[in-house]
Structure 1
Amino acid sequence: MSLGRTIVGLLGPDIPAHLREDFTMLTAHHMRGQARLLFAGFILSLPMAVYGASPGAGPLVAYGLPLVIFALCTLGLVVLHDPARYEESNADARKAIGLVWQLCLATATIGSIWCIASWASAPVETRIYYPAIMSLGALTLGYCLTAARGVGLSVLLVTLGPAAVVLASTGEPMNLVLGISMVLAIGFQVTMMKRHQSLLLNLVEERYNSARLARRDPLTGLSNRRALMERFEDLAARERRVRLMVVDIDRFKAINDRYGHDVGDEVLRAFAQLVQIHARGGICAARLGGEEFALLAPVEALDSAIALQLLVEIRGAYMPHGEPITASIGVAEGDIAGAADWTALYGRADRALYRAKNEGRNRVMASGETQQPPEQCGELEAMRA
C-alpha cells in the first residue's frame, strides 16, 4: 500500500458514490449532537482548570486561555443549537462538519497552549498533572469526533502531540512513559474512529438498501406505486406537463386459471422486462398492482408513439406459457402542480384504458381522443421491419 493511500485511509473510509450524501448527513447529525455535549462538558470543567492553574503561569494562562475556551464553547452551543439549520441538505451537513472541526481545532489549540505553559511554569512535583488533565480532555474530544476520522485525528494531534513531544524531550523516564502513552492513546482513538465509521457506513448502506427495496416491486423489480407517486410529486413540484400510460395485460386471469399462478408470475416478469426497456430518459416504469403497469414522465420524454411501439413488442414477445399475449393502454396527460393532481390524471388514463378494453383490447386509447386500432400497430410494425 502506498503512502498516499495510507494517509487517505487514516483520514476516512472510502465511501461509495451512491452513499456519500447519506453518509455525510448522518456524520453531521452525530457530530453536531456529540459536539454540543462536548462543549457543555468543557464549560463545566473550566472552573477546575482555573482553580488548578499553575501559580507561576500568570493571569493570561490561568484566566485568559480558559476564558477563550469558554467563548469558543459557548459559540459552539449557540450556532449548533438549531438542527434544521445544518441538516436540511448535503451542503448544510458539510458546513456543520466544517464548523465543528474549526471550533474543536481552535479549542484544542488553546488547550494545548494552556497545558504546555502550565507544565513549564509549575513546580517539578506537580508538572505531571497538566499533561494528565490534557489527556483526559483529548480522549473526550476524540470520542466526540469519532464520526469523522480526519477531524478527530487532526484534533488529537494538536491536543496531545505537542505535550507528548515536550514530555519525551525531558529525558526523564516517567515523562517519557507518559509521552509514549499519549501517542498510544492517539493510535487507540484512531482505531476506534475507524470502527465507528465502519458502523456508520454499514448503517447508511442498510438504510439505502431498505429504501431501495421499499420502492421496488418484489416480483418484477420495477418501481412500485410508492416510487411512482414520489416521481409524480417530484414532477409536480416543478409544475411540469406530464404523460401517464397505464398498461394492462389482456385476459391475464385466463393465464392464471389455465397454467397456474407460478406461470402467471413468470408472465408478469417477462412483461415487466418489456415495459422496463422504455424506462430511460427520465421515464419511470412501475407496476401498479396485479397485471397493471404504468409509464410516467414529462411529455417531452414520453412520446405518445411509445404506446403503439410497446403494443407491437408485447404481441411479438415470447412468453413463458408459450402463447402470445396482448395488452391495452390508456394514455392521459396534463399540467400538474401538486400531489392532488394524481387522482385526476390517473382517473383519465384509467378510463381510457377501460375504453380500450371495451373496444376489443390490444389497442391504445388516449383520454379525450379516438381509439388507436390494432391496424395502426401493424403499420408501425411494418415500418420497423
Structure 2
Amino acid sequence: MTKVSDFLRDIAIPDLAHDVRVDYMVAAASQVQKQARWLFVALLMTTPVAVLVTPESAGWFVRWALPAAMALYCLSGIFSLRKDNQFETKPWRAERFIVQSSISSLIGALISTTWAISSWLGAEGTERLHFPVILVMGALATAYCVASIRAAAAMHLLIDIVPIAALLFFTGSTLDMAAAVSLTLAGIFQWRMINVHHQHVVELLLLKRKSQTLALTDPLTGLLNRRALLDFAEALGSDGGKSRLLLIDIDRFKAVNDSHGHDVGDSVLQEVARIIDVHAGNNVSSARLGGEEFALLGTPEALPADKAAQLLSEIRNTAMPHGGQVTVSIGVAEGTLEDDRAWRTLYKQADDALYEAKRLGRDRQYHSDDLEIAAHPQRRADDPPAAPIPRQNVA
C-alpha cells in the first residue's frame, strides 16, 4: 500500500495494538461489508419517497439533482459490495476496503447534509424540522453500521449533525434550539458507544491472540510446541518442495537435574532454546518437542546443511546456568511433507539419526542418509526400504 493509503488507514482505525491490527482490520472490513449492503438498500428505497414529498418550489437541485446523486451513490455501493473480498485469506484487501469505506462514507455524509440543509432552507414553518430529524436518524444508523471504522463513523456524526444543529440553534426558535441540543446529545452518546464497542473488540482480539499463543507455544522456553510445529510442517508441505528437520537432544540432561535441581535445569533448557531460536526465521521454525528435545524445521535453503555443526559448536561453547558445559546430539533428515504420513516418515528418519549420534558418543550430528548407507552399504537405489535399526536406551 502507498504511504497515503497507510496514512488514511491509520486515521480510519487508530490506537490499535500491533499484535491485533490485522485481525481487527479483517473483522472490521467483514462487519462493515455485511451491514453496509442493507444500509445502501434502505437509502436507495427512501430516495424516491423523498422526491415525491419535496415541493416543486424547492428547485431542481434539491428535488432532482441531490436525489439522483444519492441514488447513484447507493447503487455504486451495492455493486461494489457484491464482490467476495476473502478478507480472511487476503488481509491486505481488508486494509484497502477500510480506506475505501472511509472515503465513501465521507461522500455519503456530504450528499446527505447538503440535501438536508438545502431542503431545510427551502421549507417553511414546522416542515423545516422534519429534515434535520430525518438526517440525524440516517446519520446515527450509518454511524452504527461503520462503527468498526471509527474515522468513518466520526465523519458522519460531525458532517451530518453539527451543521444542521448549528442552523437550528441560531434560528431563535425555542423548539429549534431544543431540537439542536437533542441532536447534539444523540451524536455524543452514539460516539461514546462507538468507542466502547471499539475497546471491547480490541480486548477480545487481544484475549484471542493470547489464547492462541498459549496454545501454540511452550510455556517454559517460548518456542513453538509440537502442535504448532505440525502446523508449520503442513504449511511447508503445501509448497511441494523438500524440507529439512533437525532433532536436537541435550546430552545427559538428567544429570543436570539430579545435581543442580529442576529450577537450574529449566534455566539450562531456556538457554539452549535461546540459542536454537536464533536460527529460526523466514521459512524456519524452532520448537520444543518435550523434555530436553528440540527441533528446527525449514526449507533446505533457509536451513543449510552446516547448521547442525554450527549449533553443536555454539551450545558446547556457551556458558550455562549450572556452571558446566552442555552438549547436544542432532539427527538430520530431509524429505517432503505433503501429508501427515510424510511428516511421520521424516520425523522417524531424524529420530533414528539422533539415536545413532547418541550411540556414537554424543556431542555430534548424524544424517539419516549416512544411517541408511551404514546399515546397507551395498543397497541399490531401487531396493525396498530397510527395516529400522533396533534401538537401545541411550540418554
TM-score w.r.t. the length of structure 2 is 0.76
Q: Secondary structure at the match of 2:14?
A: coil
- C-alpha distance in 2, partners of 1:9/1:355? 55
Distance apart, 1:310 and its partner CA:
3.1
Cα 1:339/1:151, change in 2 over 3 Å: farther
Residue 125 of structure 1 aligns with which residue?
Answer: 126
Give the letter for the 1:363 counterpart. R
Distance apart, 1:87 and its partner CA:
4.8
- Between Structure 1 and Structure 2, how many residues are aligned? 365
Matched, 1:197 2:195: no
Matched, 1:220 2:244: no
Cα 1:21/1:363, change in 2 over 3 Å: same
Cα 1:113/1:281, change in 2 over 3 Å: closer
The worse-fitting range, judged by mean Cα deviation, of 297-306 and 130-139 is 297-306
Structure 2 unmatched ranges of 5 or more: 1-8, 373-395
Cα 1:110/1:321, change in 2 over 3 Å: closer
Matched, 1:36 2:25: no
Give the letter for the 2:74 counterpart. C
Q: Write the deviation string for residues 301-338 of structure 1: whole angstroms up to 9, x where unpaired.
A: 43433323433454566667777554321111346667
Matches within 5 A, 1:221-300: 221-252=222-253, 265=266, 267-279=268-280, 283-300=284-301
Give the letter for the 1:200 counterpart. V
Q: Secondary structure at the match of 2:296?
A: strand
CA contact 1:283–1:295 (8 Å) conserved in 2: yes
Cα 1:238/1:176, change in 2 over 3 Å: same
Cα 1:339/1:48, change in 2 over 3 Å: farther
Distance apart, 1:91 and its partner CA:
2.5
Q: Secondary structure at the match of 1:248?
A: strand
Distance apart, 1:246 and its partner CA:
0.5
Give the letter for the 1:77 counterpart. I
Distance apart, 1:110 and its partner CA:
2.7
Residue 113 of structure 2 aligns with which residue?
Answer: 112
CA contact 1:54–1:118 (8 Å) conserved in 2: no
- C-alpha distance in 2, partners of 1:207/1:185? 33
- C-alpha distance in 1, partners of 2:112/2:341? 57
Residue 382 of structure 1 aligns with which residue?
Answer: none
Distance apart, 1:161 and its partner CA:
3.4
CA contact 2:246–2:296 (8 Å) conserved in 1: yes
Q: Write the deviation string for residues 134-182 of structure 1: whole angstroms up to 9, x where unpaired.
A: 1111111122221112111222233223323433453434334433444
- C-alpha distance in 2, partners of 1:333/1:163? 71
- C-alpha distance in 2, partners of 1:11/1:306? 45
CA contact 1:236–1:339 (8 Å) conserved in 2: no
Residue 376 of structure 1 aligns with which residue?
Answer: none
Give the letter for the 1:248 counterpart. D
Distance apart, 1:287 and its partner CA:
0.9
- C-alpha distance in 2, partners of 1:210/1:317? 33
CA contact 1:35–1:100 (8 Å) conserved in 2: no
CA contact 1:86–1:92 (8 Å) conserved in 2: yes
Q: Write the deviation string for residues 30-51 of structure 1: whole angstroms up to 9, x where unpaired.
A: 2222222322333454465345
Structure 1 unmatched ranges of 5 or more: 1-7, 372-385
CA contact 1:28–1:87 (8 Å) conserved in 2: no
Cα 1:87/1:304, change in 2 over 3 Å: closer
Q: Secondary structure at the match of 2:369?
A: coil
CA contact 2:247–2:331 (8 Å) conserved in 1: yes
The worse-fitting range, judged by mean Cα deviation, of 109-118 and 79-88 is 79-88
- C-alpha distance in 2, partners of 1:100/1:272? 45
CA contact 2:19–2:206 (8 Å) conserved in 1: no
Give the letter for the 1:138 counterpart. A
TM-score w.r.t. the length of structure 1 is 0.78
The worse-fitting range, judged by mean Cα deviation, of 266-275 and 154-163 is 266-275
Give the letter for the 2:36 counterpart. A
Give the letter for the 2:288 counterpart. R
Give the letter for the 2:205 counterpart. V
Matched, 1:352 2:353: yes
Distance apart, 1:366 and its partner CA:
0.6
Give the letter for the 2:352 counterpart. R
Residue 27 of structure 2 aligns with which residue?
Answer: 26
Residue 148 of structure 1 aligns with which residue?
Answer: 149
The worse-fitting range, judged by mean Cα deviation, of 154-163 and 183-192 is 183-192
Q: Write the deviation string for residues 40-87 of structure 1: whole angstroms up to 9, x where unpaired.
A: 333454465345434633566446644543443344234323444455
Q: Write the deviation string for residues 222-274 of structure 1: whole angstroms up to 9, x where unpaired.
A: 11123323433444444555422101234556777888866765554444334
- C-alpha distance in 2, partners of 1:177/1:41? 28
Q: Write the deviation string for residues 202-224 of structure 1: whole angstroms up to 9, x where unpaired.
A: 23322322222222112322111
Q: Write the deviation string for residues 87-113 of structure 1: whole angstroms up to 9, x where unpaired.
A: 542321123223433443333333223
% identity of equivalent residues: 39
